[in-house]
A and B are shown apart, each in its own frame.
Chain A
Amino acid sequence: MKKLLCISLFLPLLLVAGLNVNKVSNTLVHLESVRANEVLKFFNANEKIKLNNGLKFTSLEKANIVLFPKKNTNKISIVDSYKKLQENKKSIGAIYLKKGRTEIIFINERLKDNGLRLPNSYNKHLLSECQINPVCLLSDMK
């Protein structure tokens, strides 16, 4: 039972630990505000993930985007699971491990609503709101 507890406790950490931080940083650095001269500032709630490559970090209060929030926040956030992305409408995207790969997803409509955008080269990471809603997706498939 102890072993199972340990595994269940550390499994999320292990998954996060396998993130490709370069890939994440390189994507986030290209995330920009549509408003001129506004520099996006991040707050990383998960200290275990060391991001770099020119990202600007600040305190939770001053940050435009909160990365990997542990609980719901009113600020724009990028969450660490697909499920959280579905549930939390304030989150603009999710970064998590899937099948050993670092998955980076952004919801197109949410980016626009928050005055954010990504260059076209990152289109493969952009999904529509409908595509993360199984019911909508099913009707789209018909």
Chain B
Amino acid sequence: MQNKLTFFSSNRIYYYLIFAYIVFSSLLIFSYKSMGGYEERVKNLLLNRAVGIIDDTSSKILDQIIFNNSNFILANLKDEGLRAENEKRLSILSNEDIKSLYVLYINRGKYFFLFDVDKEESTQVSEPFIPENDRFFTKAIKEKKKQVFVQKDIEGLSFTLVKPIIQHNKTVALLVIDYSENRLSSLLEVSVDFLSYSALVLLFILFIFLVYILYSRYNKYKIYRNPKTNTYNRVYMTDNYDKIDFKNYYVALADIDFFKRINNLYGQENGDKIIISVIKVMASFLKKSDIFIQYSGEEFLILFTKENRDEEKIRELLEKIRIAVERAKFTIDKESFSLTISIGVLLHTEVEKSLQEVIHKADTALYECKHGGRNCISYFDISQTKKLYREKLKEMIESDKLVCYYQPIRDLETKELHHYEALLRIEDGDNIIFPDKILPDLEDSYLYTYLTKRVIDYNIKKLREDSQIQISINLSADDLINDSILAIFAQNSDLADRLYIEILENKSIDYNKVELSLQKLKLFGYKICIDDFGSGYSNLNHLLNLSIDYLKIDGSIIKEIHHDKKAYSLVKTFALFCQQNNIEVIAEFIDNQYVVDILKSFGVKYGQGWYFSKAVPYSELSKEHK
């Protein structure tokens, strides 16, 4: 119940929504209640039109009846023959819609029958008649105007016309016509009923809709919140990347130092209790408008609103939070201990393009903090020059300046072309920018993945245009575990026999994840090559597990092969290992025939380097592959 209340207190919009619904319902109920009056007015309007014709005809007949009679009532009361003749005249007006047609005269405020055209119901002359709706009769007499009204209470009647008969400018009698229930009135009732029921159905649907919104929002709220701490979790973050206006916040990423030790020592349940305690300490410093997200187990993302807070204030506040956690005593099983937190902060969020980027930078700062001894606050700082360079780089990548140059990989024995390695270049006017100038600045940014996708697309286009060419492209381990990149390869698996994937080895690799991705790529039919082997954390055991097709020995070793014994024996060992495990070896940076001869003696099959050809644009490639 507490959660439900918290939900409403943190989602004021739903109060307004419920209020709006109540107002709308009240209006609708009021309209529904007024429907009766409205119905009567509409009916009268339509009925007045409907009786128009009979009104005209009756006027003519009544003129004939009254004609030459100074007191036509007395004349008719006295003369039975005249009365019969006049009744006959009036009977012309009868039709299937008219139930009764009669003329009433008035004596001392009471009504008495003068004529009655009804054949089924016998009526004596001068029989009294007491109307149900006498106000319409009175009105007709006073105003000397016809009245039409709906008969609600009389079974079989739909409406009644009361027409004054005027003689010597005085209402002396009334022509009354009762209409039977007909299609018009039924239709009117149906339409009014339809409106009424529609309003009720609409109200019901709106109610269901409101309940649905509240229910689904509450469910989402439950998904977004940690029930123990009532803080947002990472799901909230990922679902609301686009909705959070991060430029209005300073963003901090805080992490409890050495928390794994606590989990290992006291168990996860106690660990959770500690996390809740730390959150409480931290949350006590926050404003209502700040956003606190439990980003992962012991990592917290805090968005501090910039409103009424300058940089100096936020620095002070963060320091207070750090000190508060440091000074707090946490207890598990009567054992008391202290904790510290490290905080990475990005202050200048206004220059960033996405929240992911902001978080990434706060994370970079946190990383620095962790490596700088922990229990500190580190601010992400990017120099103006670097910032400008990155902006320019971004523009260049997004434009058509991105191209690939191709360097052939040849069979060392026959010198025949095996395939080309695609190498990224950015053509900035006459300047050619090489990847080693770009990639370090892009690493760990969303631009890196974007760049990889551009390179893949570029080469897939070339493979589709040129059915003979075979290309290898370089991917980082991060690229390999990116689902969107794997999806591109899946969609283009028909090119698998001509597209080689080289995995850069100069970065620490999460072998388990990479292995899974490689298995998928192999299933599609792609050939896999480990690039720059020997330069990074080379692990022969992993190499076997990854079940690769090619291994490219790093150029820095090949370069030294003819004058460095260590390099010589290293390449020889690699080559032998690969031969025994059915892995083809490629050597790069070959710049003379002597190196070729050594490599051949080791059984290295393929090679690339300036000795064969530099990397050149596609337009300059020889036609030998065609």
Contact = CB atoms under 8 A, between A and B. Distances in A.
A20 B108 contact: no
A100 B99 contact: yes
B181 to A, nearest CB: 11
B178 interface: yes
Given A98-B123, A101-B131, A124-B130, A141 B108 contact: no
A100 B178 contact: yes
Contact of B73 (A98, A125, A134, A141): A141
Given A20-B153, A99-B100, A131 B74 contact: no
A39 interface: no
Interface in A3-46: 18, 20
A127 B157 contact: no
Interface residues of A, number: 23
A62 interface: no
Given A140-B107, A141-B73, A103 B124 contact: no
Contacts of A83: 124
Contacts of B430: none
Interface residues of B, number: 31
The CB with the most chain B CB atoms within 10 A, among A125, A132, A141, A142, is that of A141
A82 interface: yes
Contacts of B156: 100
B379 interface: no
B128 A132 contact: yes
Interface in B276-327: none
A105 interface: yes
B616 interface: no
A131 B107 CA distance: 8
Contacts of B157: 100
Interface string B523-563: 00000000000000000000000000000000000000000
Contacts of B118: 99
Given A104-B130, A132-B128, A99 B121 contact: yes
Nearest to A105: B128
Interface in A66-88: 82-83
A60 to B, nearest CB: 29
A16 B61 CA distance: 34
Contact of A127 (B73, B110, B132): B110
Interface in A98-118: 98-101, 103-105
B128 A142 contact: no
Given A140-B107, A141-B107, A100 B154 contact: yes
A127 B129 CA distance: 11
Contacts of A103: 128-130
B127 interface: yes
Contacts of A101: 130-132, 154
Interface in B86-105: 99-100, 102, 105
A127 B108 CA distance: 10
B486 interface: no
B78 interface: yes
B239 interface: no
Contacts of B153: 20
Contact of A125 (B77, B123, B130, B178): B130
Interface string A115-130: 0000000001101100
Contacts of B126: 134, 137-138
B262 interface: no
Interface in B111-167: 112, 118, 121, 123-132, 134, 153-157
A105 B77 contact: no
A100 B74 CA distance: 28
The CB with the most chain B CB atoms within 10 A, among A83, A101, A103, A124, is that of A101
Contacts of A134: 77, 124-126
Contacts of A128: 108
A99 B154 CA distance: 9
Contacts of A100: 99-100, 154-157, 178
A52 to B, nearest CB: 18
A138 B107 CA distance: 10
Contacts of B78: 138
Contacts of B154: 100-101
B191 to A, nearest CB: 25
A55 to B, nearest CB: 21
Contacts of A82: 124, 127-128
Contacts of B178: 99-100
Nearest to A104: B130
A131 B112 CA distance: 9
Nearest to A123: B109
Given A100-B157, A124-B134, A138 B77 contact: yes
14 contacts: A20-B153, A82-B127, A98-B129, A99-B178, A105-B128, A124-B110, A131-B107, A134-B77, A134-B126, A137-B107, A137-B126, A140-B108, A141-B73, A141-B107
Q: Top 5 A-B pairs ranked by shortest CB distance? A: A134-B126, A100-B154, A99-B100, A137-B126, A82-B127
Given A99-B118, A134-B124, A138-B126, 7 more contacts: A18-B155, A83-B124, A98-B121, A99-B102, A100-B99, A137-B107, A137-B112
